[in-house]
Amino acid sequence: MATLHFEQLFDPESQSLTYLIGDLDAGVCALCDPVREQLERDLGRIDALGLELIHTLETHLHADHVTSGNALAERRGSRPVLSKRSQVSCEALRVGHGERFAVGGLVITALETPGHTPESLSFQLENRVLTGDALLIGTCGRTDFQGGDPGQLFDSVHAHLFTLPDETWIFPAHDYRGRTSSTIGVEKRENARLAGRDRDAFIALMNGLGLPRPIRMDEALPANLRCGKPEPQA
Amino acid sequence: MATLHFEQLFDPESQSLTYLIGDLDAGVCALCDPVREQLERDLGRIDALGLELIHTLETHLHADHVTSGNALAERRGSRPVLSKRSQVSCEALRVGHGERFAVGGLVITALETPGHTPESLSFQLENRVLTGDALLIGTCGRTDFQGGDPGQLFDSVHAHLFTLPDETWIFPAHDYRGRTSSTIGVEKRENARLAGRDRDAFIALMNGLGLPRPIRMDEALPANLRCGKPEPQA
């Protein structure tokens, strides 16, 4: 038995969505994609609920914000959950496709959904899936840096996300228009990049986007490779 | 029977939370506290879901953004739902305390929760309550303008919100820190203004806040008194 507490948190600067997933019966929780600047706010929610933070989950190596995974591990003893394919150096539970882990009585399944980055994961929990930057509301993550691959993203979405029941809720890592959720059924029908487009057409579209470089990339990538740990001083 | 689709939408400028409440079986929906600048985004979500917009709900007369209620009524034929105590001039379904109305097979109950403003409503739907600016996450709406009354707000919260089951989800009209929800149980225990404070202490606290005037008030109040209809040209 478990009583799910599922809460979204938004970071306006990076337009990131963080998720608090708790089991109120067991008194434990996890944070998915926590943002360093929002650490005190996030701990405030966890403490208000009286929960113990046991895991931080990372859908991928973020290029636009620094994770609070390391700081939370130091302050609360939470253990990061990362992809087996991740090159992050910190101590973590490393999961592969279809592997499960528990947050109290809740069971979360890791799905490998590479393409935005090679180590991108989605996390499935009951009728919800946290899609990171693989599948966004009406769109998808870019595939033009950090080892991105549009063909691989197309395959990930079609093999592991669009095969979920239509009524499954999608909770992405970002939205740039203040939206917070969608469903598999809506995205299959309406996603501006993916709906009604075959693999070759999707690859051509993604390769032609010409997006600017993320402004915080040079800071965020090296920091996130250390789970957000401060740089060692020489 | 009804299949609930419940979705939050955030307006970063006014830090407003808008709610899309749909019955997927009946193919109809309502928007609560829609923001004029987000009209196209909100219609995009409704159209992606293939729903007909039948109502716009207003928790109160907003001082910080203009409603899209009138524009949506003109474009989609939706009918505003307002408090019986509202002084808004547009055609609307006007509801009082405990009155119910339907969105397909969903039944929404209006709760009069005055104090932030005299005509403030909360809307209850199953185990969720949309609290407007009466009860916010960790705090509450101000009571120092627009007919606000701290004693009345204290009574509203204690009589009609804190009496709901502890596990009831709270969805407010605003959050200024990127949070999106809380529960009655958490707010009873942890709300910085209301938890552990009696009526007199709450009134003293609220009367001493010394908040600045909302920057968009002079534009928003007259516009919202017309449900967001443009001003008649002389």
Average pLDDT over residues B196-204: 97
Phi, psi of A60 (to 5 degrees): -170, 175
Contact residues of A toward B, CB < 8 A: 3, 5, 7-12, 38, 41, 44-45, 48-49, 138, 167, 177-183, 186, 189-190
Residue B1 has a pLDDT of: 80
Residue B19 has a pLDDT of: 98
Residue A233 has a pLDDT of: 67
- Percentage above 90 pLDDT, chain A: 88
- Helix ranges, B38-177 (H): 39-49, 69-76, 150-156
User: Does residue A146 or residue A77 have the better pLDDT?
Assistant: A77
Q: Can you tell me whether residue A116 is helix, strand or coil?
A: coil
Residue A230 has a pLDDT of: 85
pLDDT class of A202 with cuts at 50, 70, 90 = very high
Look at residue A234 and tell me whether its pLDDT is greater than 60.
no
Check A190 against B48: CB less than 8 A apart: yes
Residue B45 has a pLDDT of: 97
Sign of CA dihedral A216, A217, A218, A223: positive
- Percentage above 70 pLDDT, chain B: 99
Specify the amino acid at residue B84.
Answer: K
A94-108, A146-160, A201-215, B12-26: least confidently modelled range: A201-215
Residues of B in contact with A189 (CB under 8 A): 48
A52-57 vs A28-32, strand pairing mode: parallel
Of A3, A12, A48, the CB nearest to B178: A12
Residue B234 has a pLDDT of: 57
Q: What is the CA radius of gyration of chain A?
A: 17
Of B49, B180, B183, the CB nearest to A8: B180
Check B41 against A10: CB less than 8 A apart: no
Look at residue B233 and tell me whether its pLDDT is greater than 80.
no
Separation of alpha carbons A138 and A121, rounded Å: 19
Check B48 against A179: CB less than 8 A apart: no
The complex's ipTM works out to 0.91
pLDDT tens by residue, B119-139: 999 999 999 999 999 999 999
**A4-211 CATH pick, 3.30.565.10, 3.40.50.300, 3.60.15.10, 3.40.50.620:** 3.60.15.10
Q: Which of B173, B152, B31, B159 is nearest to B85 (CA)?
A: B152
Minimal Cα–Cα distance from B144 to chain A, Å?
27
pLDDT tens by residue, A55-64: 999 999 998 8
Residues of A in contact with B138 (CB under 8 A): 44, 48
Q: Which of B173, B157, B166 is nearest to A49 (CA)?
A: B166
CA atoms within 13 A on the CB side of A205: 18
Separation of alpha carbons B56 and B80, rounded Å: 5
Separation of alpha carbons A35 and B216, rounded Å: 30
Residues of B in contact with A44 (CB under 8 A): 138
Q: Is the pTM of this model over 0.90?
A: yes
pLDDT tens by residue, A70-117: 999 999 999 999 999 999 988 999 999 999 999 999 999 999 999 999
Joined together, the tokens standing for residue B230 give 């443009």
- Rounded (10°) CA dihedral B154, B155, B157, B159: 160
- Rounded (10°) CA dihedral A4, A41, A76, A60: 70
Q: Can you tell me whether residue A137 is helix, strand or coil?
A: coil
Would you tell me how many other CB atoms lie within 10 Å of the CB of residue A225? 15
Q: How many CB pairs under 8 A join A and B?
A: 58
Average pLDDT over residues B156-181: 97
Look at residue B232 and tell me whether its pLDDT is greater than 60.
yes
Mutate to test the interface with B, among A4, A7, A169 (most CBs of B within 10 A): A7
Contact B87, B119 (CB under 8 A): yes
Q: Can you tell me whether residue B47 is helix, strand or coil?
A: helix
Residue A214 has a pLDDT of: 82
- Helix ranges, B97-157 (H): 150-156
Check B41 against A189: CB less than 8 A apart: no
Check A178 against B7: CB less than 8 A apart: no
Q: Under 8 Å CB-to-CB from A200, ≥6 apart: which residues?
A: none
Separation of alpha carbons A125 and A129, rounded Å: 6
Contact B201, B38 (CB under 8 A): no
Locate the domains of chain A by residue range.
4-211
pLDDT class of B113 with cuts at 50, 70, 90 = very high
CATH 3.60.15.10 fits B4-208, yes or no: yes
Please, what's the b/e burial string for B82-97 (b: 16 or more CB within 10 A of its CB; e: otherwise)? bbebbebebebebbee
Q: How confident is the prediction for chain B on average, in pLDDT?
A: 95
Minimal Cα–Cα distance from A191 to chain B, Å?
9
- Residue A124's beta-bridge partner residues? A109, A129
Average pLDDT over residues B69-97: 96
Minimal Cα–Cα distance from B116 to chain A, Å?
24
Residues of A in contact with B182 (CB under 8 A): 48
Q: Under 8 Å CB-to-CB from A112, ≥6 apart: which residues?
A: A83, A85, A96, A97, A120, A121, A156, A160
Check B48 against A182: CB less than 8 A apart: yes
pLDDT class of B33 with cuts at 50, 70, 90 = very high
Residues of B in contact with A183 (CB under 8 A): 5
Mutate to test the interface with B, among A181, A182, A189 (most CBs of B within 10 A): A181
pLDDT tens by residue, B42-59: 999 999 999 999 999 999
Residues of B in contact with A190 (CB under 8 A): 48
